[in-house]
Chain A
Amino acid sequence: MSAVLDHHDHGHDDHHGHAPTGWRRWVFATNHKDIGTLYLLFSFTMLMVGGVLALGIRAELFQPGLQLVNPELFNQLTTMHGLIMVFGAIMPAFVGFANWMIPLQIGASDMAFARMNNFSFWLMIPAALILVGSFFMPGGAPAAGWTLYAPLTLQMGPSMDAGIFAMHILGASSIMGSINIIVTILNMRAPGMTLMKMPMFCWTWLITAYLLIAVMPVLAGAITMTLTDRHFGTSFFNPAGGGDPVMYQHIFWFFGHPEVYIMILPAFGIVSQIVPAFARKKLFGYASMVYATSSIAILSFIVWAHHMFTTGMPVTGQLFFMYATMLIAVPTAVKIFNWIATMWQGSMTFETPMLFAVGFIFVFTMGGFTGLILAMAPIDIQVQDTYYVVAHFHYVLVAGSLFAMFAGYYYWSPKWTGVMYSETRGKIHFWWSLISFNVTFFPMHFLGLAGMPRRYADYPMQFADFNMLASIGAFFFGFAQVYFFLFIVLPGMLGKGEKASQKPWEAAEGLEWEVPSPAPFHTFETPPKLDVTATKVIG
């Protein structure tokens, strides 16, 4: 146990406030709180970069005809928007939350492998630079879609290799992050913090981390085979040499489907913390939440080919993947029911974290239902690769993952910054985001049902009005996030605002509320003694 603790700091940092200063504090950061901050700032930056690319797409689609970008650049925008948002924004942001909150929630002094933690963050910087820089390489950025389907990837320019390299680095970073999280949770819980008393956020991250370790190497394999097909004469996926392009899709989606749960399970965890806090009532069915999360994770490995119904698989294949996919609706429904049962007969207030959490439940469920509709193979044949799919996954990834992270930010930022955000501004951010999000993505359901394929730079005139509406909504949504940064995050980072108490939320539970706000540089240096519920420190 002591081998994994950072002894270096112990000698002279026994009292708080002796943190390393200047650039060294960040470059050599081994403190989980600093690394968490770095992750969150990095992922917000990438959210903005990916957002600008998305607005490029929406600006081009504002009207029929090509106005701003050529189709080649358009494909680069869609591809890089997807890659940057998935690997640069959503995933690192959750790792940031994990870094900040997991040690605080389980009563550990830091993450298990502090230096590896530093390494896994700083690996992301070159990877992000390579990804963004690929736009300036000859032939522009990769334009094969974020799924990087073969054999289109074989036609790409040198930026494809750069993209593959960047994905490898990001994958390595994710795996190291996951190992760190698993080891921290399994080995460093304070005495009395049994697994089944752990906060839901830790549970969902523990399961997510296992998913990551299981599937990131699969992605690495797929893109490495793409690389050797491109340069070293192999023919894994190249039909000209007897390779099978559909095999690429199988391998990719064996990674890709667990990946979508990687991006949503920690969000479930955040919401499961916030709803009880503002309903002033314990989470309903804690154990069944844990089991439901595990079932979702296990099922996620056997549903991948529902992304491939149109590739033409045998009847039995289609049926199997259809049934398995529909089965995921069951544990997901259990979670929704549990949250609502937690709210039922509570004593609710609606500060911004709760607004985002309720907004999450409402809008995410819409994405869940379109997922169920897409799972039906015969309907999927109609809407596969159309805007219906685009609407579906933005409902679960933006209104799902992103809204849960906003909820988490508002919930925990008093602990991070030591000051309260402005409740009025938080509410403006919520309603502005919720409405503009729906204006952007709801019309896409209609476009998809009417048959507008995704990744199209130009479209028939009949689709014009809905596209215009979606583009207007997208710009409003984008500006809402700039507002969030300038008027909510920035004042918080500068320490402006009402001072936050140790526990700003009346009924919030957990060890993170047992330390002062802002959380001191070092917390729980000696394992705390916990009460029987493992939510309070008793001496």
Chain B
Amino acid sequence: MIKSIFNKLGGTLLAASSLGMSAAHAVNDLPGGPAVNQFNLHPAVTSIAAEQAWLHWFMLIICTVIFVAVFAVMFYSIWKHRKSKGYKAANFHESVTVEIVWTIVPFVIVILMALPATKVVVAMKDTTNADLTIKATGMQWKWGYDYIKGEGEGIGFISALDATQREMSNNGGPKAGEIVDDYLLKVDNPLVVPVNKKVRIITTANDVIHAWMVPAFGVKQDAIPGFVRDTWFRAEQIGDFYGQCAELCGKEHAYMPIHVKVVSAEDYAAWVGAEMVKLAAKADDPTKVWTATEIHARGAKVYAANCAACHQVNGKGAGPIKALDGSAVVLDADKGKQIAIMLNGQNNLAMPAWKQLSDTDIAAVISYTKNNWSNQTGQLVQPADITAAR
């Protein structure tokens, strides 16, 4: 009952206030993501998010009422009790009764506020009996998802910001007239989950702390290197939902969005089936000896997905990021040097370690850098070289 009043009130306020703002930029609301000039929390898609939204309205209304009441008194006093109106100052400056009353009343109000919040905290933290468990690994600067329990077990992929959008950001954002509703929210591989199933997200990180956030689900959980934490959601609607990394994680912090696709049970089963087929096909034979053209094509893909953000598409780097084009290490006849850097990182991990990539991917990307731009060493690194170096 009260909830529905709050919700209606919220809707009316939002509608009224959005009329007042004109959109200076050509952009539309993104369903599941932010709306243009959104004033409040995202529309809830889980029961927890609905509870949070309710609590927020509950608090906002109580606080506004108190605020208005208290400051009505102050402004009345400012209006009436001024010297210019000839008001003579009274002489009181103490009243134990009044002071006890206005200590106890806020205390009681605070307790009343804490009661509904307690219920939600307990519900939020209950990650038991999940239908599906997914591990989300924060990495500079992308998310790795591994389906570790439930339907789809074994699926794993990396989800990173769409490279063209990153490029767009460097060029000053979407151009005039260019409508990009999912600017900085579009990823290559969204996380896919079934609707109405309890999904437990286990978070961890490879390098620094990140945070996995999806506002529509009411979920935000830090992903901490060396530790695992968990959170959960049960999405009640099919659709696309967006979030972003919410803990400062270095220079590309703003560029590691989260996109969750909630699908029906049948669609989910179909997606899992397709992924499994891909998984089987993708499994590389780590002893395979690749030809130059094959490995170059593979390396180009790996480079675009992992390296281009810092080292740039042209391999020239930028600022503190070293150039690969013409780099002594890349051109060195001893391919072990570059392999070691790829596996272990360099400069306090300013160049991160990439050992999470497969032997084939590492071999491919090294071969690619050794034979691209002005680098024409003709050297090929094979997966077996990486296996040996690990």
Residues of A within 8 A of B (CB): 63-67, 70-72, 75, 139, 143-145, 149, 151-152, 154-157, 239-240, 242-246, 279-288, 310-312, 314-315, 318-319, 322-323, 326-327, 329-330, 333-334, 336-337, 340-350, 358, 361-362, 365-366, 369, 372-373, 376-379, 381-382, 384-386, 446, 449-453, 455-466, 468, 507
Contact = CB atoms under 8 A, between A and B. Distances in A.
B323 interface: no
B39 A155 contact: no
B34 interface: yes
B293 interface: no
15 contacts: A65-B173, A157-B320, A281-B93, A310-B221, A319-B118, A326-B110, A369-B66, A372-B63, A373-B56, A377-B117, A378-B117, A378-B218, A381-B52, A458-B184, A462-B33
B168 to A, nearest CB: 7
Interface stretch (B151-159, B241-249, B378-386): B241-249
Contact of B221 (A312, A323, A343, A365): A312
Nearest to B352: A155
Nearest to A153: B208
A438 B56 CA distance: 22
Nearest to A280: B89
Most-contacted residue by chain B among A149, A155, A280 (CB, 10 A): A155
Contacts of A377: 117, 120-121, 124
B178 to A, nearest CB: 10
A110 B118 CA distance: 52
A318 B125 contact: yes
B interface bracket (residues with beta carbon within 8 Å of A): 35 or more
B215 A451 contact: yes
Contact of A462 (B36, B208, B255, B320): B36
A344 B77 contact: yes
B107 interface: yes
Given A152-B209, A362-B71, A382-B220, 9 more contacts: A245-B226, A285-B94, A334-B99, A345-B89, A378-B121, A385-B211, A449-B41, A460-B182, A462-B29
A5 B88 CA distance: 44
Interface in B176-198: 180-185
A312 B230 contact: yes
B222 A312 contact: yes
Contacts of B36: 461-462, 465
A240 B226 CA distance: 7
B90 A345 contact: yes
Contact of A378 (B51, B81, B99): B51
B226 A71 contact: no
B38 A151 contact: no
B93 A245 contact: no
A450 B89 contact: no
Contacts of A281: 89-91, 93
A376 B169 contact: no
Contacts of B247: 149, 310, 385
A109 B60 CA distance: 50
B349 interface: yes
Q: Which of A245, A358, A378, A450 has the most CB of B within 10 A?
A: A378
Interface of B: 21, 23-25, 27, 29-30, 33-42, 48-49, 51-52, 55-56, 59-60, 63, 66-67, 70-71, 73-74, 77-78, 81-84, 87-95, 98-99, 102-103, 106-107, 110, 113-114, 117-118, 120-122, 124-125, 168-174, 180-185, 203, 207-209, 211, 213, 215, 218-222, 224-227, 229-231, 243-255, 318-320, 348-350
Contacts of A460: 30, 33-34, 182-185
A311 B110 CA distance: 25
Given A71-B252, A347-B82, A365 B102 contact: no
B218 A381 contact: yes
A426 B257 CA distance: 47
Given A155-B348, A315-B122, A462-B37, A310 B81 contact: no
Nearest to B94: A285
Contacts of A312: 203, 221-222, 224, 229-231
B55 A379 contact: yes
B224 A311 contact: yes
Contacts of B35: 450, 462
> 6 smallest A-B Cβ distances: which pairs?
A65-B173, A239-B226, A312-B229, A450-B38, A282-B93, A461-B27
A115 B245 CA distance: 49
Contacts of A326: 110, 113-114
Given A453-B245, A465-B21, A279 B349 contact: no
A279 B83 CA distance: 9
A464 B185 CA distance: 15
Contacts of A310: 211, 220-222, 246-247
A378 B208 contact: no
B246 A385 contact: yes
Contacts of B59: 372-373, 376, 379
A143 B251 contact: yes
Nearest to B320: A139
B19 to A, nearest CB: 14
Contacts of B67: 365-366, 369
Contacts of B120: 377-378
Contacts of B23: 465
Contact of A152 (B182, B245, B250): B250
Contacts of A283: 93
Contacts of B252: 71
Contact of B82 (A284, A348, A507): A348
Nearest to B225: A239
Contacts of A329: 106, 110
Contacts of A63: 172-173
B103 to A, nearest CB: 6
A337 B243 CA distance: 41
A449 B103 contact: no
Given A462-B36, A464-B27, A456 B224 contact: no
A461 B248 contact: no
B327 to A, nearest CB: 19
Given A346-B89, A460-B183, A333 B246 contact: no
A334 B102 contact: yes
Given A67-B172, A462-B27, A322 B107 contact: no
Contacts of A365: 67, 70-71
A219 to B, nearest CB: 19
Contacts of B246: 310, 384-386, 453
Contacts of A453: 213, 244-246, 253-254
A450 B32 CA distance: 11
A310 B107 CA distance: 26
Contacts of B243: 451
B166 to A, nearest CB: 9
A378 B113 CA distance: 12
Contacts of B94: 284-287
A135 B339 CA distance: 33
A407 B308 CA distance: 53
Contacts of A385: 211, 220, 246-247
B278 to A, nearest CB: 30
A318 B123 CA distance: 12
Nearest to B348: A155
B211 A315 contact: no
A323 B35 CA distance: 33
Contacts of B124: 377-378, 381
B239 to A, nearest CB: 16
A340 B74 contact: yes
